[in-house]
Amino acid sequence: SALWLVVPAAGQGRRMGADKPKQYLTLAGQPIMAHTLARLYQAFPEATLVLCLDSDDRWFQPEWVPFTRWQRVTGGKERMDSVLNALHAIPAQEADIVMVHDVARPCITPDDLHALYQAAASHMAGALLAMPVADTMKRANTEQQSARTEPREGLWHALTPQGFRYALLRQALESARHYQRVVTDEASAVEALGEQPLLVSGRRDNLKVTHPDDLALAAAILSAQNI
Ligand code: C5P
């Protein structure tokens, strides 16, 4: 059964406020992208990678890709457009499970990757790594005042990777695009079809590097993991 990995890496990372997209910032001596791809390869050396890059990307270097089978595609306006471009590059008859993983999550571990793959392969609606919400959740009003408290029971943070059967994921994202719904993860698009992906409890240190402070945090996590 053929596993395809899709890594959307066509974002600008504006919240980072850096001079280049965050996936190219250095973490423990290597660009974030190189860390992320190395972790994916460590878990799935036989997989085929599709990497989504911005059409104006000036930083990507192919030596960061450890996979023997891989290709690049041009990213789209939104993350979902980038992922759809990747799916269109995958021959439907050769794909079984597709796992999508943010380039900005370099601290993903082989154990979490394997757990998610197993869940995605055994659950028809697919699966995503996720983490139960630990903090009390507040709903703000327009004045940024705490208007009410949302029950956190049953609330999870959606992480990546998220894994689905190729046909389901493609149908879900094409439907979202058709109805002009922007989804920020693949599971949202699948839910809109009436399917319920499995929430797989993942490690709390699967950080998405988003803000400047996250760089030091991610470096500390990587060295503590010792993988
Ligand atoms: O902005 P955020 O960090 O949530 O983006 C999540 C992932 O989606 C990142 O890996 C980013 O590079 C990717 N992305 C993309 N194409 C876009 C927007 C974001 O591949 N148009």
DSSP secondary structure string for all residues of the chain: --EEEEEEE----GGG--SS-GGGSEETTEEHHHHHHHHHHHH-TTSEEEEEE-TT-----GGG---SSEEEEE--SSHHHHHHHHHHTS-GGG-SEEEE--TT-TT--HHHHHHHHHHHHH-TT-EEEEEE--SPEEEE-TTS-EEEEE--TT-EEEEEEEEEEHHHHHHHHHHHHHTT---SSHHHHHHTTT--PEEEE--TT-----STTHHHHHHHHHHHH--
Kindly state the percentage of the chain with pLDDT values over 90. 94
- Residue whose entry in the numeric block shows the structure tokens 């943070």: 157
- What pLDDT band is residue 1 in, cutting at 50, 70 and 90? low
State the average pLDDT over residues 136-150.
97
| Owning domain of residue 23 | 3-225
What pLDDT is recorded for position 15? 87
Determine whether the shortest distance from the Cβ of 76 to ligand 1 is under 6 A: yes
The closest residue, in CA terms, to atom 7 on ligand 1 is 102
State the average pLDDT over residues 173-190.
97
Kindly state the percentage of the chain with pLDDT values over 70. 100
What are the pLDDT digits (tens) for 83-140? 999 999 999 999 999 999 999 999 999 999 999 999 999 999 999 999 999 999 999 9
Q: 153 to each of 20, 56, 224, how far by Cα in Å?
A: 39, 43, 30
Residue 10 Cα to ligand 1 midpoint, Å, equals 6
Residue 189 has pLDDT above 70, yes or no: yes
Instruction: Specify the ligand 1 atom closest to the Cα of 184.
Output: 4
What are the pLDDT digits (tens) for 40-77? 999 999 999 999 999 999 999 999 999 999 999 999 99
Tokens representing 224 are 């503590």
Determine whether the shortest distance from the Cβ of 11 to ligand 1 is under 6 A: yes
| Mean pLDDT, the chain, whole residue set | 96
In residues, how long is the chain? Answer: 227
Residue 11 Cα to ligand 1 midpoint, Å, equals 4
Give this complex's ipTM.
0.95
Tally of domains in the chain: 1
CATH number of the domain within which 71 lies: 3.90.550.10
Count of C-beta atoms within a 10 Å radius of residue 65: 19
Global pTM value: 0.97
What pLDDT is recorded for position 13? 82
Residue 17 has pLDDT above 90, yes or no: no
What pLDDT is recorded for position 129? 98
The closest residue, in CA terms, to atom 19 on ligand 1 is 11
Q: Are 162 and 113 in contact (CB under 8 A)?
A: no
Of 208, 215, 198, which Cα lies nearest the Cα of 129?
198
Q: Are 103 and 36 in contact (CB under 8 A)?
A: yes
Q: Are 105 and 160 in contact (CB under 8 A)?
A: yes
Determine whether the shortest distance from the Cβ of 161 to ligand 1 is under 6 A: no
Residue 133 Cα to ligand 1 midpoint, Å, equals 23
What pLDDT is recorded for position 179? 97
In angstroms, rounded to a whole number, what is the distance separating the alpha carbons of residues 169 and 97? 9
In angstroms, rounded to a whole number, what is the distance separating the alpha carbons of residues 120 and 116? 6
Determine whether the shortest distance from the Cβ of 202 to ligand 1 is under 6 A: no
Determine whether the shortest distance from the Cβ of 52 to ligand 1 is under 6 A: yes
- What pLDDT band is residue 14 in, cutting at 50, 70 and 90? confident
Residue 96 Cα to ligand 1 midpoint, Å, equals 24
